[in-house]
Structure formats: structure tokens, C-alpha cells
Amino acid sequence: MAAILCENCSGQYPYTQVSQPLEISCMLLLIMLGKVFLDFFMLQVKQKKVKASFMGYFCVSLALLDFILLMSISFIFYFEDFALWGVRFTKYHICLFTQIISLTYGILHYPVYLVAGLDYYMTIAQTSQIPKRGQRLLYVCAVVVIWISGFFCILKVPAICEELEIQSRFSPYQCPLYASVQSYSVSCAMVLLIGMAVLACQKEVTTMLLSVRVVSFASQPVLMFSNVSNNNSTCFKWQLLTRLLICFLGTWAPFVLLQIIILFLGARIPAYMEMNVPWLYFINSFLIAVAYWCRRHDVELTEEMWSTDPFVSWKFCFMPFNNENTEPSDKPGRVIVIC
């Protein structure tokens, strides 16, 4: 891009014009610092023994890219005006790099969620026979291809390059950042689907919540719900939806509430902030629940199958709980436990 090359910077972007106010650069630096801390915090607190998945690898790549962006803007913020490998960097590039990241993040929601959804749909029932090493290599290649495609689409679109150039010429003291239409539509769709599921299972959800008890299992507190098993396929379908819904909302209810508030207020969050590791794990749990629902008749009840989600335990959505390690029950075998 012409705005980055040193020979073009000297004439078009003098230092007195492109230098941003300290507040803007400092604000971007602090926001990225908080985001990187949150990304690595989520990667640290998640369950370690989980199956490899595309979304897991993409979350790691996002955290690393955020860290690289943080280091880059910190370096520029400290040295302010310097040349490296024939390229002159000023505080204007703090805004430029953040804009490019925002635009790239903003167009990756659909492809990332589509690939992650297909991954869970094909592997949730253990129908894939790909060796683990080959599967991980496939995930790494998919992540690299998606990132390269995203940056290529942004940097090779003439209209975007022209807009960034014009903005740097005529609005050097402003740093307009971009919100993602894809993320907004995904939030709307998720809130709508969750709301429809709650309405469809309102009676079942109310019954299960009224029967909840806290017991101790394997030295850990768990929630125990009453459960009446039913072999009818239609009843099983709605019972499973109820259990998936309670498991999902039991972990991610604050995120759902936050999405409702954001949509109600019409707030538009910049894309470089909106795509973060907590948000991706929230989407990840939703996609796993959808995959379980779609493949409910093909799920194999194995221990490996329950290590798919690093934050939500879906095990007892499918199998009744043998309550031999909990407090006595009047009706053994008629309970379901959700961790």
C-alpha cells in the first residue's frame, strides 16, 4: 500500500499531519492490552484435556495475532517515528494496523463458524477415521488458509485501499474503526434461535429447574434434575433440546444477556474488539449443541465424546446418571445430572 512505503510517506504524509493525538494511540494500546490479557486468560482457564478441533486452533491463532498487534503498536507508540527495512513508521500506523485488523476480523465470522460447524457435524459422532496427527495438520492448514484469505481480500480490494489512503490524507487526527455486519447478524440469529428454543421447551425447562438439587459427585458440586426416561423419539427430541439448552445457558447465560442488551441498544462494537477468544468459545458451545441436536441418533456414549467442549459438559444430556456416589435418592435411575 502506498501509505506504508517510505518514499511515498515523505511527500504525502508529513509527520506533523499523520501524528495522532496521544489519546487515540493510548486508547488503542490499552484496549489491545486488555483484550490480549482476556484472550490468554480464557486459554489458560479452559479444560486442558479436550479433543482437537478447528475452533480450538483458531482461538490460539487469534490470541497470537492479537499479541503480535499489541507488540507492534507498543513498539510504534514508544519510538513514535522510525524507519525499518525501508518503511517509515509513525503513530499513524497504529491506526492503520488496527483498521486492517478490524476489516479482516469483520469478514471472517461466516467462514470460521461455517468450518467449525461442519467440523463438529462430521466428528461429533466419531464417524471420521482421520488419524489424530493428520487431523491436527488439517486444522492448522485450514486456519492458515482462512487468515491468508482474509488479509488477501482486504489488502487487494482497491476500494478499501483508497478509503484508507483518503482517510489518512484528509482525516489524519481521526481513526475510524469498523464494526462487523457478519457479527451483528450472527448475534441476531443466535438470540432468535435461543429464544425460540426456550419458548418451545418452556414447560420442560420449568419442570427441570423446579426439581434442581445440588449434590456432591466425585468431590465436586453438581446439579441434579429429575428425569423421566421416554423411549418415544419425539419426546426424546424435546427432552434432549431442553437439556442442551440448560447446559448451554448454565454456562453462557451472561453472554446471552449481554448480546440481548447490545442488540437492544443498537451498539456497534469495532470488529477488532468483537472477535475475541471468549466470544469464539461462546459460539463454539452453541455450535456443539447444534451438532449434538442434529446428530442425536448417531452420538456414541464414550468418554472421549464428552471432551469436545472446554467449558460445557454435555455428558448427562444423553445418558442417565447412576447416583451411587451422591446422597441417597428415593427413585434411583430417575435423575439426570448436569455438571
Three-state SS for 109-147 is HHHHHHHHHHHHHHHCCCCCCCCHHHHHHHHHHHHHHHH
pTM of the model: 0.79
Length of the chain: 339
Instruction: Report pLDDT for 287.
Output: 93
pLDDT of residue 14: 29
pLDDT at 158: 66
* pLDDT by residue, tens only, the chain of 339 residues: 333 333 333 333 322 233 334 466 778 888 889 999 999 999 998 887 788 889 999 999 999 999 999 998 888 877 776 666 766 666 777 777 888 888 899 899 999 999 999 998 888 776 455 557 888 899 999 999 999 999 988 887 766 666 666 555 545 556 667 778 888 899 999 999 999 988 888 887 777 777 767 666 656 666 666 655 555 556 667 777 888 888 888 889 899 999 999 988 888 888 888 899 999 999 999 999 888 888 877 766 555 566 678 888 776 665 554 444 444 434 433 444 444
Cell numbers found for residue 331: 427413585
Which cell numbers hold the place of 158? 482497491
Cβ partners under 8 Å of residue 111, min gap 6: 146, 149, 150
The residue whose grid cell reads 482497491 is 158
Q: Are strands 87-89 and 213-217 parallel, antiparallel or unpaired?
A: unpaired
Residue 109's nearest CA partner among 171, 170, 62, 174 is 62
Q: Is the dihedral of CA 273, 278, 281, 285 positive or negative?
A: negative
pLDDT of residue 167: 56
Q: What is the pLDDT of residue 207?
A: 77
What is the predicted pLDDT for the residue at 168? 54
pLDDT at 328: 41
Complete edge-to-edge strand list for the sheet that includes strand 335-338: 213-217, 220-226, 335-338
C-alpha cell at 206: 420449568
- The pLDDT score that the predictor gives to residue 191 is 92
Given a contact cutoff of 8 angstroms between Cβ atoms, the answer to whether 88 and 9 are in contact is yes
Task: Please tell me the distance from the alpha carbon of residue 63 to that of residue 73, in angstroms, as a whole number.
Answer: 16
Name the grid cell of 102: 478490524
Tell me the C-alpha distance between 32 and 102, whole Å.
12
Measured in whole angstroms, the distance separating CA 113 from the mean position of its chain's CA atoms is: 9
